[in-house]
Amino acid sequence: MIGKTRQESAAIKPAEYQNEESFDPELGQPRGVLRRPPPAAGKFRHARLCAAPELATWIDHYWMVSWDLRGLEPRLVESLPHPNVHIVFEKSESKAWGISTSKFSRVLDGKSHVFGIKFTPGGFFPFLGKSVSSLANSSIPVEQVFGREVKALERVILDTNNESEMTAAADAFLTERKPPPDEKVDLARQLVERILHEPDILTVDDYAARTRMSARALQRLFSRYVGATPKWVIRRYRLHELLELMHSGKRLDWAQLAIGLGYFDQAHLINDFKSITEYTPTEYPGLEPAQDS
């Protein structure tokens, strides 16, 4: 077990804002992060970390966020939802979070860190043992999934700032608890990945035809293993694409873009974007100045 948490030093206002990002090349940049103007001072770090290869069926990756905003205004971080369950270890309470139909929002203040386990689409089902849709828009204490033994892992993660120690502890804990093979776990992951990598999938009917599965069979599989409907996953991934285009700074033809993303018209696209982010595309605070392509 790692030693006791170091005592925090007296709050000293940092001279300037420091933002660190560390993303394993295998994982690449995160998708769906809503941009906001950075604060004038403080420290913030976001890392995406690979899990052990033998866990790839169930675990997409680990992530860690740390911050030092002592003596400063709190910082708001937001992102669009993904079709993934997360287990998040933090000092106040560690929980398993189901898929949210709204954006993720978190206010950071003081000094702390959190460590997350992002499960593959379908990968959380064998650990939960029941329909993943039962967790939609909700969370449960992590002990309800792994029992009291998970508290030892929580202590290791929260008592260190070393990312390698966190990932090693998580790898060891999960490897000891690998579920038996389930072909539907693999199928669910492959089906969701297809939506991600084939941006011209715009409707459930089109998707069903490509996968040679009925719409009803897809609905049942997604509800039980993924925790969201195929239509929801299609729409969320298309909004992720929209966000990337908005961040590119290129001039966008909103009417044409709406059709290309599977919406009836521009108004439907704007309404869907606002229903998730609470902004219209033109109100979005992270929108880059338009540039000629």
Residue 207 domain flag: yes
- Are the C-beta atoms of 84 and 118 separated by less than 8 Å? yes
What confidence score (pLDDT) does residue 286 get? 59
Residue 289 domain flag: no
CA 168/CA 99 separation, integer angstroms: 26
Burial class (CB in 10 A: 0-12, 13-18, 19+), 186: middle
At 243-288, the pLDDT tens digits run 999 888 888 899 999 999 999 899 999 999 999 888 888 888 755 5
**In this prediction, what percent of the chain has a pLDDT beyond 70?**
90
**Domain match, 24 and 166 both:** yes
Longest Cα–Cα distance of the chain, Å, equals: 62
Query: What CATH number does the domain containing 197 carry?
Result: 1.10.10.60
Instruction: Look at the chain and report how many structural domains it folds into.
Output: 2
Strand order, beta sheet including 17-23? 17-23, 42-49, 59-69, 110-119, 86-89, 95-97, 139-141
Q: Averaging pLDDT over each range in 6-10, 22-26, 98-102, which range is the top one?
A: 98-102
Residue 11 domain flag: no
Residue 3 domain flag: no
**Domain match, 167 and 225 both:** no
* Residue at which a domain ends, from 121, 153, 175: 175
Amino acid letter, 198: E
Return mean pLDDT, the chain.
Answer: 89
**Domain match, 98 and 203 both:** no
Residue 122 domain flag: yes
CA 237/CA 201 separation, integer angstroms: 10
**Domain match, 146 and 219 both:** no
**Domain match, 197 and 104 both:** no
**Domain match, 166 and 47 both:** yes
Q: Which residue has the higher pLDDT, 21 or 152?
A: 152
Residue 9 domain flag: no
**Domain match, 39 and 149 both:** yes
**Domain match, 84 and 127 both:** yes
**Confidence band for 9, pLDDT divided at 50, 70 and 90:** very low
- Are the C-beta atoms of 27 and 48 separated by less than 8 Å? yes
What confidence score (pLDDT) does residue 39 get? 66
**Domain match, 247 and 118 both:** no
CA 25/CA 29 separation, integer angstroms: 9
**Confidence band for 88, pLDDT divided at 50, 70 and 90:** very high
Q: Is the pLDDT of residue 292 over 80?
A: no
What confidence score (pLDDT) does residue 38 get? 67
CA 242/CA 235 separation, integer angstroms: 11
Q: Which domain holds residue 213?
A: 183-277
Residue 56 domain flag: yes
Angle (nearest 5°) at CA 219 between 217 and 224? 100
CA 229/CA 239 separation, integer angstroms: 16
